[in-house]
Amino acid sequence: MQHHPQINAAELLERLSNGESLNMVDVREVIEFYTYNIGGNNIPLSKLTDALDSLSYNKTDEIIVICKVGLRSETAQAVMQQQGYTNVRNLSGGLLAVQKLKQ
């Protein structure tokens, strides 16, 4: 059974503001990423499976998957876990939750 560890927006923003270098994968479409993002690699969900081979992450690295509300990133989390990544965390509430906190 897969586990689905989450990270919330407050924890993510705190770690970023502390200067922590996080492995983030934003699985939204390119246009969405350019409209608003908090960094990380932009790999649209539709291209994720093909792109995993080119990622420079170790399968044990913490990787945070991000999308607008947390649904596409939940799918991405499952895809990455199926490929053997053991420490993938989904940003719960997605970037909408991040933007709410920043207001």
Sequential DSSP letters for 10-71: HHHHHHHHTT----EEE-S-HHHHHHS--SSEE--GGGHHHHGGG----TTS-EEEE-SSSH
Please return the burial class of 80, using the count of CB atoms within 10 Å of its CB with bins 0-12, 13-18 and 19+.
Answer: buried
Asked which of 7-11, 17-21, 54-58, 59-63 is least confident by mean pLDDT, the reply is 54-58
Predicted local confidence at residue 14, as pLDDT: 97
102 pLDDT higher than 90 = no
Predicted confidence (pLDDT) at residue 1 exceeds the cutoff of 70: no
| Mean pLDDT score, 47-70 | 94
pTM: 0.94
Return the closest-CA partner of residue 8 out of 103, 100, 90. 90
CATH 3.40.250.10 is right for the domain spanning 6-102: yes
